[in-house]
Structure 1
Amino acid sequence: MSNRAWHLASRPQGLPTPANFELKEAPLPDLQDGWLKVRNDWLSVDPYMRGRMNDVKSYTPPFQIGEPMSGGAVGTVVESRSPAFQEGDQVLHMAGWRETAAGPAENFNKLPPMGIAPHHFLGNLGLTGGTAYFGLLRVAAAKEGDVVFVSAAAGAVGSAVVQIAKARGMTVIGSAGGADKCAWVKELGADATIDYKAGPVLKQLNEVAPKGIDVYFDNVGGDHLDAAFATARQNARFAICGMIDDYNSGSNHAFRYVMRIIAARIMLKGFIYLDFLGEMGEFYREMGGLIAAGKLTSRETIRLGLEAAPQAFLDLFSGGNTGKMLVRL
């Protein structure tokens, strides 16, 4: 069975380019007892992967030059040497960026029988939805009546945050780039939107939240985070999920209003999805219920074929996606 895979050809300086990727064969290891072979059907590309292209210590190991890259994927078992899996089972795993994966059964999670299309387990029922759910409700401890500001609200994580917050009785302000994306964020239930391409974020945030914000869900960093500092109410809570503005810049943003952390007693906490793997049963129940009730919808930007993966990834940094970016094999 062919197994083409994208490899890291070189480490990028600033914004990655297609030259940083190389598509070539990645021979599969012989299948051992307790292993599976999986044909990938859907691949996820996500902003956090940019950090893995750097040779720096982080919460997940960096990609190695000349080695296959990895990421979230959903696939179908084509051969099983584990009693826990059968051919035809659909599984979620982290051996993406390739056509076929093989490894120990514990590296694969069988999709629960929820009657939901498999690719949603890379979105609202996967890493992005889990990041939204736990970031908003656990990290930021958001509650009914809070005013919540969400950056990148038209992205995969941000759009889920908007809907979860509305379902829990919060007032939501979402920031997105361009009129079309802002209109979609309003359709999702946001009470107000900010078009960051139309003018300064802080000026717009002051207009739509004149009494300030209680919660900031950060996907962007930069001017958005500084505007949140400036408008934070007493004891505001910030869930720091990502800072896509700074991933390729090579420099840190100068925060004009960062001193308000002290005066407003702001709580900032960084987090990642893996922090909450022990609570996935609750997550599936709650998110599955919202989907079944029609309170949580999604939009995907889908690119076709393994060859499309690098450009799909690069387009995340120029706003080329609405909702979750996926690659269908």
Structure 2
Amino acid sequence: MSAQVRRLLSGFAQNSANIVKAKKYIFEKQFVGLPKATDLKLVEEELPPIKDGEFLTEAVYLSVDPYMRAYAPTVKLGTTFIGSQVAKVLESKNSKYPVGKYVVGEFGWRTHTIVDDTPNPRGFPSAWLIPDPEGLPLSLSLGVLGMTGNTAYFGLLEICKPQPGETVVVSGAAGAVGSIVGQIAKIKGCTVIGIAGSDEKGKWLVNDLKFDTFLNYKDKDFGQKLVQATPKGVDCYFDNVGGQLSTKILNRMNLFGRASVCGAISGYNDKEDAKADAVQFPLVFKQLKMEGFLVHRWMDRWFEGIAQNKNWIKEGKLKYRETVTEGFENMFQAFVEMLQGANTGKAVVKV
């Protein structure tokens, strides 16, 4: 073999080695009711070389969250399905994102992504560097040390403004956000009542997270148990669920109570579940404050929430749990199981 041929073959091998193939889930059909596997399609694409200002990432952990179901009607068919991930920088032509660093980015359900550091259409950064986790798992940057933790931190403290001695009720209490909300309320000196859908989750809330009371919304006498658990009424309600359950809680609230509305998962898959008696009666006669929010409202204070939650973890005041699914090919399974309430704490997928 001539030297020229060897050089050509060597160059071909090198170029082949540099080719990066990404796997991604394409949104094929709009969800009707509970999402079906055929609504998404797993495909592969070859990525081009990165340009100046860009960097290449590889997913390490991906998040599955209720908001993905709620936002699905706004997602364009034929595009990568939405979601955030913890990713490692593999190659970079952007000095702000060095090789080897880890970022959180809203890259969607894909294994590899080329990022150009341009803010997304809502004006939020395309990615943010993960602060020193100080020995804690990187996956927490999708949970208690990321958007989930900030949702709990700002949504409770900035909207409900709980005071020592007040009663706080949290629906979806065993989920990623609700489990953190209840613990922060306890840190602030409140009596905390968590609502979830299984007694096993209730034991975790009371025994491990130190909620004062657990109520199972599936119990036929739930309304009676709610009254018994709130002899002084309800001062703050953190709502992850919506529907008739939330109307019952609003009717137990005290004068000038505050309700922070984070989500309405009861109606994401079945609009019938979202039907409820009118909330205007308790809102008017109890003179309640009820406010919805998106966590990116506090983007300018993002790392404040992360730092505080990290400190509470280190002090032993804040605990977390993750439900981890192995394998990128199991993204859809993890997503649907989360929507059905199979997870305890934050649901993530490890690639």
Matched, 1:66 2:105: no
TM-superposition CA deviations, 1:11-42 (whole Å, max 9, x none): 01122111111100134344111111001000
Amino acid at match of 2:180: A
Alignment correspondent of 1:209: 230
Alignment correspondent of 1:108: 127
Matched, 1:127 2:139: no
Alignment correspondent of 2:123: none
Offset of residue 223 of structure 1 = 2.4
Alignment correspondent of 1:226: 247
**Maintained 8 Å contact 1:217/1:239:** yes
Q: How many residues align?
A: 322
Amino acid at match of 2:155: G
Alignment correspondent of 2:342: 320
Q: Which runs of 5+ in 1 are unaligned?
A: 55-61
Matched, 1:195 2:216: yes
Alignment correspondent of 2:276: 254
Offset of residue 257 of structure 1 = 5.5
- Give distance in 2, aligned partners of 1:180 and 1:240: 25
Amino acid at match of 1:259: F
Offset of residue 232 of structure 1 = 0.5
- Give distance in 1, aligned partners of 2:157 and 2:183: 12
- Give distance in 2, aligned partners of 1:95 and 1:289: 28
Runs of 4+ in 1 over 4 A off after TM superposition: none
**Maintained 8 Å contact 1:70/1:94:** yes
Identity level (%) = 34
104-113 or 91-100: bigger deviation: 104-113
Q: Which runs of 5+ in 2 are unaligned?
A: 1-19, 119-125
Matched, 1:150 2:170: yes
Amino acid at match of 1:137: L
Secondary structure of the 1:51 match is helix
16-25 or 200-209: bigger deviation: 200-209
**Maintained 8 Å contact 2:80/2:108:** no
Alignment correspondent of 1:59: none
**Maintained 8 Å contact 2:324/2:347:** yes
TM-score (norm 2): 0.89
Alignment correspondent of 1:307: 329
Match of 1:161 among 169, 177, 181: 181
Alignment correspondent of 1:97: 109
- Give distance in 2, aligned partners of 1:96 and 1:292: 31
**Cα RMSD after superposing both structures:** 1.4
Alignment correspondent of 1:26: 45
- Give distance in 2, aligned partners of 1:284 and 1:317: 26
Larger helix fraction of residues: 2
Alignment correspondent of 2:58: 39
- Give distance in 2, aligned partners of 1:188 and 1:142: 18
- Give distance in 1, aligned partners of 2:303 and 2:62: 23
Alignment correspondent of 1:57: none
Secondary structure of the 2:100 match is coil
Offset of residue 258 of structure 1 = 4.0
Offset of residue 200 of structure 1 = 4.2
Match of 2:34 among 6, 15, 33: 15
- Give distance in 2, aligned partners of 1:274 and 1:152: 21
The structure that has the greater radius of gyration is 2
**Maintained 8 Å contact 1:227/1:257:** no
TM-score (norm 1): 0.94
**Maintained 8 Å contact 2:146/2:306:** no
